[in-house]
Amino acid sequence: MSVRHALLAFLSEGPKYGLQLRQEFEESTGEVWPLNVGQVYTTLQRLERDGLIESDDGEDETGPQKVFRITEPGRTELDQWLSTPPDMTQPPRDELVIKVLSALRVPGVSVHDIIQVHRRYLVELMQQWTRLKEDEADFDLTFALVGDAEVFRLDSVVRWLDAADSRLKRAALEAPSAKPAPLIRRRLVTRR
Amino acid sequence: MSFLELKDVSKSYGTGAAEVQALCAVNLSVAQGSLVAIMGPSGSGKSTLLTIAGSLEEPTTGEVLIDGRALSSMSRNDKARLRRRTVGYVFQDFNLLAGLTAVENVALPLELDGVASRHATRTAGALLADLGLGGRGGHYPDELSGGERQRVAIARAIVGDRSLLLADEPSGALDSLNGEAVMRLILRACRSGVTAVVVTHDAQLASWADRVVFIRDGRIVDQTVPPPTPESLLEDLPARGR
């Protein structure tokens, strides 16, 4: 996530102080992404340098404070960022995929056992996130959205492991004497 | 103390070359008031495990104990009584009776057990209200959404203080938030003392359980360690402000 654009989003609601922005950033990420004050001010300086925000001297209960506000170019930049999909054309270099592919090559190693070790670990992590949702009285919308994102991400990996497990089992039944297929026969073509 | 125990349970179907081993020496102990998920792919034996645990089927070898009583030592009548009074079942496709309203569906197990109709209806209505379906009691299953139907099915499974809930893919075709609502209800029942076993292939569903047991080819191969309490987890994450 871009700290730069998140700060622009908060400023689109109205002028704000730096400390207030840090607090809102942490709240908006379900507080799973702490941000230090230095990071906030460095980013604000860069945004001001680029003409996307401007500042005035103001004052709050703690004394003199700079008040930041978004500019028109800042609004345009924010609108463009919100509607531009993140680049997902390149598959990430996934360590787990590489481990499973490698396990296929190692004599004496059961790839199904390796898959299970990772499956258990992921389900345990999912249990931890789900526990946080258990108490409805403690419901917090931002936290629920961040928690859902994490559970769905972990779930997609478990699904891949389940599919890999079944696919390998089926392949072993269909061709018990066949040599293992070359690990990578095709490559994804990037469209950009 | 464990409320449900499977000791060395095996189940095979057919004989000779056609024999299929559905379960193989399964040992499982479920503590009272806990929620255990059995997670495995289609054909791994998880549904067979559930029907044997609920005395709907008998194991080929091994023993099942519910609340310390061995099912093999019970007469047919005892088992029928156990199924009526102690065990509640929830299935993927809800299995509600189409000709009965929600409240009549929930009251049915009580009436079958000899409870007077008026009392059974009152108990069922109170339970539906408690599960957030107070205004839906008079509706027929086809007038309810999928999520509501499954909540009615859970009410039917726990009505009358039944203490063992067995669920087979209870969130079936429901979307994830309705599936979450179903698991929340099951977990809530467990927190009030019900013991529950849920079988599923779905990790999101399984992650609601206190313990997840993995089954492959009729054998239990692994299980999760109990997750930390929410409090200990929140200490790992930055404190949440209000």
| Number of CB pairs, chain A paired with chain B, less than 8 A apart | 80
A120 vs B222, B228, B240: nearest CB? B222
| Whether B169 contacts B202, CB under 8 Å | yes
- Both B8 and B25 in one domain: the answer is yes
Element (H, E) at A102: helix A95-103
Same domain, B211 and B224: yes
How many domains does chain A divide into?
Answer: 2
Instruction: For tokens 């404070």, name the residue.
Output: A65
Domain enclosing residue B56, as ranges: 1-12+21-86+163-173+194-242
Contact criterion met (CB < 8 Å) for B228 and A128 = yes
pLDDT at B234 over 70: no
Q: Chain B within 8 Å of A165 (Cβ-Cβ)?
A: yes
Question: 3-state DSSP call for residue A54?
Answer: strand
The ipTM (two decimal places) reads 0.85
For residues B23 and B9, the answer to whether their CB atoms sit within 8 Å is yes
Is A88 domain-assigned?
no
Pick from B141, B162, B183: which residue ends a domain? B162
Clarify whether residues A99 and A169 are in a common domain: yes
Of the pLDDT bands very low, low, confident and very high (cuts 50, 70, 90), residue A184 is low
Contact yes or no for A123 and B41 at CB 8 A = no
Convert A145-155 to b/e letters by CB count within 10 Å (16 or more is b).
Answer: ebbbebbeebb
Say if B187 falls within a structural domain. Answer: no
Is residue A188, in this structure, part of any structural domain at all? no
User: Percent of chain B having pLDDT more than 70?
Assistant: 93
Could you tell me if B41 lies within 8 Å of chain A, comparing CB atoms? yes
The answer to whether position A90 is within a domain reads no
- Do B77 and B152 fall into the same domain? no
- Residue range A158-170: average pLDDT? 94
A78 in the same domain as A8: yes
In this structure, the answer to whether residues A78 and A99 fall within a common structural domain is no
Cα angle value B198/B39/A97 (rounded, 5°) = 150
Residues B55, B169, single domain; the answer is yes
The pLDDT-based confidence of B25 (bands split at 50, 70, 90) is very high
Statement to judge: residues A72 and A117 lie in one domain: no
Sheet with B219-223: list strands edge to edge: B87-90, B164-168, B195-200, B35-39, B211-216, B219-223
Residue A62, pLDDT > 80, answer no
From the list A27, A123, A166, the residue facing B203 with the nearest CB is: A123
Domain shared by B119 and B66, yes or no: no
Assess whether pLDDT exceeds 60 at residue B235.
no
**Cα(A25)–Cα(B135) distance, integer angstroms:** 41
In a domain, A191, yes or no: no
Q: What is the mean pLDDT of chain B?
A: 89
The number of angstroms, rounded, from the C-alpha of A31 to the middle of its chain's C-alpha atoms is: 14
Shared domain check, B61 and B43: yes
- Asked whether residue B186 is assigned to any structural domain, the reply reads no
- Contact call for A122 and B180, based on CB within 8 A: no
Quote the radius of gyration of chain A (alpha carbons, Å). Answer: 24
A120 interfaces chain B, CB cutoff of 8 Å: yes
For residue B239, the model assigns a pLDDT of 44
Among A41-55, A137-151, B88-102, B104-118, whose mean pLDDT is lowest?
Answer: A137-151
Task: Determine, for residues B214 and A122 on separate chains, whether the beta-carbon distance falls below 8 Å.
Answer: no
Rounded-to-integer distance, Cα A45 and Cα A40, Å: 9
Count of structural domains within chain B: 2
Cβ–Cβ contact A124 with B under 8 A: yes
Q: Is B209 on the interface with A (CB under 8 A)?
A: yes
Residue A185 falls inside a structural domain: no
